[in-house]
Amino acid sequence: MEPASDPTQSAFLCPASSDLASRIEFVSARGRTALLDAVYLGSQIVRTDRNPRKVLFVISDGGENSSRYTEGEIRESLAQTRVRVYTVATTGSESGAPELAFLRRLADEARGRFAAVDRSSDLATVVRELSMAISTGQ
């Protein structure tokens, strides 16, 4: 999912979490994030997968603009799908900022993990670390 004012699907289902780090290199930020819509739609995509271990991986600065879905609807959707959510905040130096509170809460409530990066060059490393956590069920 590439968040934008109207999220469109560019998501992919990875058969192995090791594929994730190599695939994110080709995704670019476009701004004007409808973050809640992207998370909701991502949960619906994951819901249809046959794999019993469902994981949604969210990489964002935490900014939110004009989503149609609410946090309550996100929580309900994630509870129904029993998906784990792993989040990466791309503004690690501001990891206490209000914009990142949703990403932290999302990971906590959905039995996942939260991480933050200061520099985009650190993103692949953090994604690999979280991918290993996903592989081991942490």
Question: Which tens digit of pLDDT belongs to each residue from 37-46?
Answer: 989 988 888 8
Whether residue 64 has pLDDT greater than 70: yes
Number of CB atoms found within 10 A of residue 111's CB: 14
Q: Which of 24, 20, 4 is nearest to 66 (CA)?
A: 4
Domain ranges for the chain: 18-135
> What is the C-alpha separation between 94 and 100, in angstroms, rounded?
8
The string over 26-60, giving b where at least 16 C-beta atoms fall within 10 Å of a residue's C-beta and e elsewhere, is eeeeeeebbbbbbbbbbbebbeeeeeeebbbbbbb
pTM of the model: 0.78
> What is the C-alpha separation between 35 and 16, in angstroms, rounded?
25
Looking at domain 18-135, its CATH superfamily turns out to be von Willebrand factor, type A domain (3.40.50.410)
The identity of residue 63, as a single letter, is G
What is the percent of the chain with per-residue pLDDT over 90, rounded to a whole number? 18
